[in-house]
Chain A
C-alpha cells in the first residue's frame, strides 16, 4: 500500500481557556498548557515523536510583528521543523494533513490560540483588515456591518425571517448550558431575543458571538502511527478550504451567499470520494452570526438551498433532531477565539466522535462535519469531514 493511500487521523487533543479573560497565563503559557495536554492525551513526547509543528496565528491579533518567533517554545517545536500559518487553525489542520500525505511526516501537531482579551482596540484591529481605499475610510463605526449585509441578502433570497435568526440563538445558547467550554451559554426563550434591540440589523447581541480566550492543540498521525498510538482514532476523511475573494476586493463577493463554504465542502467531499451531501450524524457549523448557521448548512449541502430555516423551525437541528447542529452551543455559546475558532469547533466534533463530549454527548455518532469561517471581513472558509 502506498503512502498516498494512508489515512490521516486525529490521535490527541488538548485545550485551555474558553473564558472571556485569562489573566493567569501569558499567551505562551496558554499555548504550553494546551499542547502539554494534547501530548499527554496522545501519550507522546513532542521532542522526539512529532515530525513537524504547525502554529496558526495573525500578527495584529497577537500584538507582535512576526509573531511566529514566539510559537516554537511553548508547543515543543524549538529547533524542529516548525512553521506558522497566518490563518484559522483548520487551515493548519489542512497543512498537517498534506504534510502527512507526502509520506515524509508521520506525526504532526497543530496549535492555534486567540487571546482577544488582551486587545484593547479590537474594533480598530478589525478596521485594519478592511480595504484601505474603498471601504476603510467610510463612517461605518463597526466593521461587523459586513455580516449585516450578508444576513439581509440571505433572508431576502431564502425567505428566512428574523424569527429564524433568533431561533438559532435560542437553540445554541441553550445547547451550551451542558458544555463546560460555553462561557456565554444562557437559558433563553425566543421572546427574550425578539424583544431585545438590534446591534447590527437584523441581529441582536444574542445573535452575534462574543469573544473568548483559548488555546487548542491537535496531534495528527498517519494510519500506522494512529493505530499504534490510540484505540479510537478519528479519521479526517476530507478537509477543504477556499477563498471567494480577497479583502481588497470584497466588492466581488456574492452577497447573501458563501461560495467559499461550497468550494471548501466540495474539496473535502471529493477527498472522501463523496458526491454532495455526506450524510453526517451531526455538524459543528459556523455561527458567529446567527444567520451564518443557516447559510453554511445550505452552502455545505447538508440541507437543500432555502430549507435550513424550515428545518430549524421543525426542530430538526436540535440536539435530539434529525440533524443535530451545534450540540456544543457553537460560537454563540463558546465565543470566538480568533484564529482558534475553527479548532474549537473541530474539538467539539472530535469529542462527540470519541464519546467524550460529556453532558452534551450525542448517541451513536460516527460521522460529523465541521464548517468554519475566518470571520469579517474575509470570505475564506474551511470544512472538515470526520469519522470513526
Chain B
C-alpha cells in the first residue's frame, strides 16, 4: 500500500475546530426502557432483599448457576430448582478503579472484581464457576501485591431497611 499511496483520505479536526463548524448538529434522542426481569431474575432480586443469594440448578448436568438462569446455557434445557448458596467465596480477580463510568477521576479509588462463590458441584481450577461481579472492600495495596487474588471473602449486606431488591443490596464482598 505505502509503496503506491502517499496520502490517505480523512480530514482531521481539533476539538475547537469541530465545535466552531457551521452546520454542526447536537442532539440526543431519548432512549429509555423498561426491562422485564422475567421470573428468574425477579426471584433472585427478591432473594437479595431478604439477604439470600439464590442459584438455579440444571436438571441435566447438575450445575448450579449463580446468578441464576432460566435455562442451562450448556445443555439448553430449562433449569428446575432454586438453591440458596453460601455467601462466601474467593476473589478470582480484582482491580483498582480511579475513574467513573464517564471516565472522570474519582476521589476515592474503589476495588472491584469477580468472586468465585463456594457453590458445590464445581471442581477446583475448573474453567467455569458460580459467582458474582461486585465491589470488594479490601485494601488496594493487596490488589497490587497480589495478596487479594484467592483471598477468602464474604458478602457484606446493606442494612435490611435499605435493601431494595437490587444488586446494590450487597454493599461489597469483604475479607472473611
Contact = CB atoms under 8 A, between A and B. Distances in A.
A215 to B, nearest CB: 13
Interface string B113-141: 00000000000000000000000000000
A29 interface: yes
B76 A124 contact: no
A118 B76 contact: no
26 contacts: A22-B36, A24-B38, A25-B36, A26-B36, A26-B70, A27-B36, A28-B38, A32-B76, A35-B76, A36-B78, A45-B76, A47-B75, A47-B76, A60-B31, A63-B31, A63-B33, A74-B71, A115-B36, A118-B33, A119-B33, A124-B29, A125-B29, A132-B27, A136-B25, A136-B27, A137-B25
Interface in B71-101: 71, 73-78
Contacts of A119: 32-33
A338 to B, nearest CB: 13
Nearest to B33: A63
A178 B70 CA distance: 33
A128 interface: yes
Interface in A216-246: none
A26 B76 CA distance: 17
Contacts of A76: 76
A295 to B, nearest CB: 29
Contact of B74 (A27, A28, A78): A78
A121 B25 contact: no
A36 B41 CA distance: 20
Interface residues of B, number: 25
Contacts of A180: none
Contact of B25 (A72, A128, A133): A133
A47 B74 CA distance: 7
B173 to A, nearest CB: 24
A120 interface: yes
B36 A118 contact: yes
Nearest to A125: B31
Interface of B: 23, 25, 27, 29-41, 69-71, 73-78
Contacts of B41: 26
A39 to B, nearest CB: 7
Nearest to A25: B38
Contacts of B74: 47, 78
B29 A29 contact: no
A230 B27 CA distance: 52
Interface of A: 22-29, 32, 35-36, 39, 45-47, 60, 63, 72-74, 76, 78, 115, 117-121, 124-125, 127-128, 132-133, 136-137
Contacts of A132: 25, 27
Contacts of B77: 36
Contacts of B39: 24-25, 29
Contacts of A78: 73-74
B73 A73 contact: yes
A29 B40 contact: yes
Given A25-B36, A117-B34, A121-B31, 9 more contacts: A22-B36, A26-B36, A26-B41, A27-B35, A29-B40, A78-B73, A119-B33, A132-B27, A137-B25
A235 B4 CA distance: 49
Nearest to A23: B36
A120 B37 contact: no
Contacts of A128: 29, 31
A132 to B, nearest CB: 5
B34 A118 contact: yes
Given A45-B76, A76-B76, A26 B31 contact: no
A127 B28 CA distance: 10
Nearest to B24: A133
Nearest to A29: B38
A125 B39 CA distance: 27
Contacts of A73: 69, 71, 73
B75 A137 contact: no
A120 B34 contact: yes
A136 B29 CA distance: 10
A120 B32 contact: yes
A179 to B, nearest CB: 25
Contacts of A35: 76
Nearest to B41: A26
Contacts of B69: 73
Of B31, B36, B37, B77, most A-chain CB atoms within 10 Å: B36
Q: Which 6 pairs show the lowest CB-CB distances between chains A and B?
A: A26-B38, A63-B33, A76-B76, A73-B73, A124-B29, A120-B32
A121 B76 contact: no
Contact of B37 (A26, A47, A117, A125): A26
Contact of B35 (A24, A26, A60): A26
